[in-house]
Amino acid sequence: MNWQAIGLTAKLATLVSLILLIVGLPLAYWVAYSRWRLKFLVEAVVALPLVLPPTVLGFYVLVAIGSQSPVGRLYESWSGHSFAFSFQGLLLASVLYSLPFAVQPFAAAFSQIDRNLLNASATLGASRLHTFKRIIFPLSLSGIVTGIVLSFAHTVGEFGVVLMVGGNIPGVTRTISIDIYDRVQDLDYATANETALLLLIFSFVVLSGVYATNRQLWRGWLGR
């Protein structure tokens, strides 16, 4: 089994989840509570990776961060190496690709909170940030956990975007799914099977964990 690819994938998925927690929470808050008439446009952009072929998303990210683009040139002059086909480039693409898997569960959880709880918090003198920390965050915890776990698992399983943006560089951008593909190309079915089985078990455990956690959280607050 290619432990280097497994380690790299775990690192990528952890960083993607962390970034999506930081970026996704305010974005989901805005999506859930904004009254802007054109909000649906932002919602559509966030949801795009759900329906877009990964190669299309990967292609545009590649164009956007390639050495011909302003972003790519700026990054290259600052860091000394190319943005495309680097771990950082792969990280950016993965964050964009998993965005709806975090933002949608977050926003759905925020929207389900009784509006009067937020109004009550405001009339008791709490700022929006305080309300978020004390009311919205704890009451949306199951949705937040779901979003984080789904984006982690989704990143672990991504293939097309990685191939487009990251290429297949061992130790830099070769993730588990790329490794499985390589093994199959080499007709090394035994190793491919080992890694594929690992991914299958991982995905099952993660999803079971999400459903079990959500149940316990709800039972804790509603039943007890």
The residues binding another protein (CB under 8 A) are 114, 116-117, 119-127, 130, 134-135, 138-139, 221-222, 224
Nearer to another protein, 113 or 198 (CB): 113
Closest CB 138 distance from another protein, rounded Å:
5
**Which residue in this structure is represented by tokens 């989704």?**
154
What are the backbone angles phi and psi of residue 58, rounded to the nearest 5°?
-60, -40
Bin 150: left if φ > 0, else alpha if -120 < ψ < 50, else beta.
alpha
Cα angle 202, 94, 62 (rounded to 5 degrees) comes to 140
Do the beta carbons of residue 139 and residue 122 sit within 8 Å? no
Q: Tokens representing 88?
A: 């950082």
Nearer to another protein, 79 or 127 (CB): 127
Nearer to another protein, 51 or 129 (CB): 129
Residues 6 or more apart whose Cβ sits within 8 Å of residue 207: 153
Please count the other Cβ atoms lying within 10 Å of the Cβ belonging to residue 15.
16
Closest CB 184 distance from another protein, rounded Å:
49
Closest CB 145 distance from another protein, rounded Å:
15
Nearer to another protein, 142 or 146 (CB): 142
Closest CB 223 distance from another protein, rounded Å:
9
Nearer to another protein, 26 or 138 (CB): 138
